[in-house]
Amino acid sequence: MTAPRLATIVDAELGLDGGMMMGVVPRPLWETVHPPDERNRIRLVSRCGVFSDAAAGRLWLFDVGVGRDWGAKSQAIYDFRYRGPDLRALLAGVGYDPDAVTDVLLSHLHFDHAGGIVVRGAAGAQRLAFPRARHHVQAAQWAWARAPTVRDAGSFRPDHLAVLEASGRLDEVDGPRSLDARVSVRVVSGHTPGMQLAQVRTDDGEALFLADLVPVWSHVRLPWITAHDHEPLRTIEDKRALLREAAEHGTTLLSGHDPSAPRARVRTAGDDMFEVETFATAEDR
Q: Given the rule CB under 5 A, which residues bind Zn ion?
A: 110, 212
Nearer to Zn ion, 53 or 212 (CB): 212
Q: For residue 246, which amino acid is it?
A: A
Backbone angles phi, psi at 216, to 5 degrees: -125, 165
Nearer to Zn ion, 25 or 213 (CB): 213
Please report how close the Cβ of residue 63 comes to Zn ion at its closest, in angstroms: 10
* Buried/exposed code over 197-231 (b: 16+ C-beta within 10 A; e: otherwise): bbbbbeeeebbbbbbbbbbbbbbbbeebbbebbeb
Please report how close the Cβ of residue 112 comes to Zn ion at its closest, in angstroms: 7
Q: By Cβ distance, which residue is nearest to Zn ion?
A: 110
Cα 233 to Cα 188: distance, rounded to the nearest angstrom: 12
Three-state secondary structure call for residue 106 = coil
Q: Give the DSSP H/E element, type plus range, for residue 165.
A: helix 158-167
Please report how close the Cβ of residue 75 comes to Zn ion at its closest, in angstroms: 19
Nearer to Zn ion, 53 or 229 (CB): 229
Nearer to Zn ion, 58 or 108 (CB): 108
Nearer to Zn ion, 212 or 258 (CB): 212
Please report how close the Cβ of residue 190 comes to Zn ion at its closest, in angstroms: 11
Nearer to Zn ion, 58 or 228 (CB): 228
Q: How far is CA 274 from CA 129, 201, 246, in A?
A: 38, 23, 11
Contacts of 98 (CB under 8 A, 6+ apart): 87, 88, 89, 91, 92, 129, 130
Contacts of 43 (CB under 8 A, 6+ apart): 13, 14, 15, 34, 37, 259
Please report how close the Cβ of residue 227 comes to Zn ion at its closest, in angstroms: 12
Nearer to Zn ion, 52 or 226 (CB): 226
Cα 113 to Cα 197: distance, rounded to the nearest angstrom: 12
DSSP class per residue in 256-270: SS-SS-SEEEEEE-S
Nearer to Zn ion, 212 or 238 (CB): 212
Please report how close the Cβ of residue 84 comes to Zn ion at its closest, in angstroms: 23
Please report how close the Cβ of residue 212 comes to Zn ion at its closest, in angstroms: 4
Largest CA distance in the chain: 58
Please report how close the Cβ of residue 64 comes to Zn ion at its closest, in angstroms: 13
Cα 106 to Cα 211: distance, rounded to the nearest angstrom: 9
Cα 131 to Cα 99: distance, rounded to the nearest angstrom: 8
